C-alpha cells in the first residue's frame, strides 16, 4: 500500500512526539466543565463552613443557652435555637463535619468494595464467584440494624465514627456488587478483553485497566447516590440513638431533632436540611462531570 511509504517518511521527519498522558487529559477535561467547577466550589465552601462555622458563631457545640429556648433566628443565634437552647447554626455546621466525612467515605468504600468484589467474581467465575457471592448473599440476609445496634457502644469516643463508617459501608455494597458482576460477565467476552489476555496482561490488571473503567458510569452513579444514602442512613440510626454518639454530633441528628418541629419552628429544620441538599447536589455535579470526562462517547466532548 502506498500509504505506508508516505507515512513512514512523516514519522521519521519530526522527532517522536511525547506519549499522551491519560490522567492529565481527564483532569483537564474535568476542570473544563462548569458543572464540576461549581460542584467543587460548593463542596469546598461547605467544608470550610463545617470547620469554621462552630468557631465563629460564638457558641460552643452542645452548649445550651437557657435564656433562649426554641427561639427563631436572631442576632444572637443566627439560625435560632432548639428546644434545649442549643444554637442551630453551631450544631448544624459541627454536624456537617461528621456527615461530610461519613457520606464521602461510606460512598467511596462501599462502591470500591462493590466494584472489586463484583469484578473479581464475574471475571474469574467458578469458585471465586461462588465464594464472593456467598459472602455478598450472607451480608444481604444479616439483619444490619440489629448488628449496628449491638455494636453501637463502640461508636462512642475518639475514632468511633470511623467504626460506624466501616459498618455502614459493609452493609451497603452487596447490591451494587451483583450489578458489577453481571456487567463483568458480559464484558469478559468482549474481544478487547480477549486481546489483553492473549497478550499476557495479568487478570487483576485486566480488571483494573479494562473492566472497571468501562463501567465507570455505573460506579460513579452508584457512589453519588451512596453519599446521600449514607447520610440518611446515619440519620435513621441517630433517630434511634444508634448512630453517631454524643458528644459527637451529625447533621442527621440535627435534622432528626428538627423534623418534628418542621411546621411549628421551621428554622430548626430548614437550615440543616439546606446544608444536606447542597452537599448532595455538589457531589452529584462532580459525579456527573467525572462520568462525562471518563466517557469518550459522551456528547459534551464530541467536537
Q: Quick one: which of 225, 235, 223, 222 has its CA closest to 99?
A: 235
CB 203 within 8 A of CB 143: no
Give the count of residues interacting with other proteins (CB under 8 A). Answer: 36
Beta bridge partners of 86: 64
**Residue 159, interface with other proteins (CB under 8 A)?**
no
Q: How far apart are CA 64 and CA 62, in angstroms?
A: 6
Q: Which three cell numbers stand for residue 295?
A: 466517557
CB 117 within 8 A of CB 173: yes
**Residue 98, interface with other proteins (CB under 8 A)?**
no
Among 145, 231, 297, 300, binds other proteins (CB under 8 A): 297
Among 23, 67, 143, 191, binds other proteins (CB under 8 A): 191
- For the bound state, the minimum distance from the C-beta of residue 220 to other proteins, rounded and expressed in Å, comes to 13
- The smaller minimum CB distance to other proteins, of residues 3 and 158, is found at 3
**Residue 192, interface with other proteins (CB under 8 A)?**
yes
**Residue 127, interface with other proteins (CB under 8 A)?**
no
Pattern 3-22, other proteins, x by CB under 8 A: xx--xx-xx--x-xxxxx-x
Applying the rule CB under 8 A, the residues between 273 and 292 that interact with other proteins are none
Q: How far apart are CA 104 and CA 228, in angstroms?
A: 9
- The smaller minimum CB distance to other proteins, of residues 19 and 127, is found at 19
- The smaller minimum CB distance to other proteins, of residues 63 and 190, is found at 190
Applying the rule CB under 8 A, the residues between 201 and 260 that interact with other proteins are 201, 205, 209-210, 213-214, 216
**CA distances (Å), 219 to each of 93, 109, 183, 230, 294, in order?**
29, 12, 11, 16, 12
**Residue 1, interface with other proteins (CB under 8 A)?**
yes
CA 232 centroid distance within chain: 13
- The smaller minimum CB distance to other proteins, of residues 63 and 209, is found at 209
- The smaller minimum CB distance to other proteins, of residues 104 and 193, is found at 193
Beta bridge partners of 81: 87
Q: What's the N-to-C CA distance of the chain in angstroms? A: 31
Among 115, 121, 167, 196, binds other proteins (CB under 8 A): 196
- The smaller minimum CB distance to other proteins, of residues 58 and 203, is found at 203
Among 143, 199, 247, 263, binds other proteins (CB under 8 A): 199
Q: How far apart are CA 103 and CA 232, in angstroms?
A: 9
Spatial CB neighbours of 125, under 8 Å, sequence gap ≥ 6: 185
Beta bridge partners of 64: 86
Q: Which residues contribute to the site for other proteins (CB under 8 A)?
A: 1-4, 7-8, 10-11, 14, 16-20, 22, 25, 190-192, 194-196, 198-201, 205, 209-210, 213-214, 216, 294-297
Amino acid at each position: 500500500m502506498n500509504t505506508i511509504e508516505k507515512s513512514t517518511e512523516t514519522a521519521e521527519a519530526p522527532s517522536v512526539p511525547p506519549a499522551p498522558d491519560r490522567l492529565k487529559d481527564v483532569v483537564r477535561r474535568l476542570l473544563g466543565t462548569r458543572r464540576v467547577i461549581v460542584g467543587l466550589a460548593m463542596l469546598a465552601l461547605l467544608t470550610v463552613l463545617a470547620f469554621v462555622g462552630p468557631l465563629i458563631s460564638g457558641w460552643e457545640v452542645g452548649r445550651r443557652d437557657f435564656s433562649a429556648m426554641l427561639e427563631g433566628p436572631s442576632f444572637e443565634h443566627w439560625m435560632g435555637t432548639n428546644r434545649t437552647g442549643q444554637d442551630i447554626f453551631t450544631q448544624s455546621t459541627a454536624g456537617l463535619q461528621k456527615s461530610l466525612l461519613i457520606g464521602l467515605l461510606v460512598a467511596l468504600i462501599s462502591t470500591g468494595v462493590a466494584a472489586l468484589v463484583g469484578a473479581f467474581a464475574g471475571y474469574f467465575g467458578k469458585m471465586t464467584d461462588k465464594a464472593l457471592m456467598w459472602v455478598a448473599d450472607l451480608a444481604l440476609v444479616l439483619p444490619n440494624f440489629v448488628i449496628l445496634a449491638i455494636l453501637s457502644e463502640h461508636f462512642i469516643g475518639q475514632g468511633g465514627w470511623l467504626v460506624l463508617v466501616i459498618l455502614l459501608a459493609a452493609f451497603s455494597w452487596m447490591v451494587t456488587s451483583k450489578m458489577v458482576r453481571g456487567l463483568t460477565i458480559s464484558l469478559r467476552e468482549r474481544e478487547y478483553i480477549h486481546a489483553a489476555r492473549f497478550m499476557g496482561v495479568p487478570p487483576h490488571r485486566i480488571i483494573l485497566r479494562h473492566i472497571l473503567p468501562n463501567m465507570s458510569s455505573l460506579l460513579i452513579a452508584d457512589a453519588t447516590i451512596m453519599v446521600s444514602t449514607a447520610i440518611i442512613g446515619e440519620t435513621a440510626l441517630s433517630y434511634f440513638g444508634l448512630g453517631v454518639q454524643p458528644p459527637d454530633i451529625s447533621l442527621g441528628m440535627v435534622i432528626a431533632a428538627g423534623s418534628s418541629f418542621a411546621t411549628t419552628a421551621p428554622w430548626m429544620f430548614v437550615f440543616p436540611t439546606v446544608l444536606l441538599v447542597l452537599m448532595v447536589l455538589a457531589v452529584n455535579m462532580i459525579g456527573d462531570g467525572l462520568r462525562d470526562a471518563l466517557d469518550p462517547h459522551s456528547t459534551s466532548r464530541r467536537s
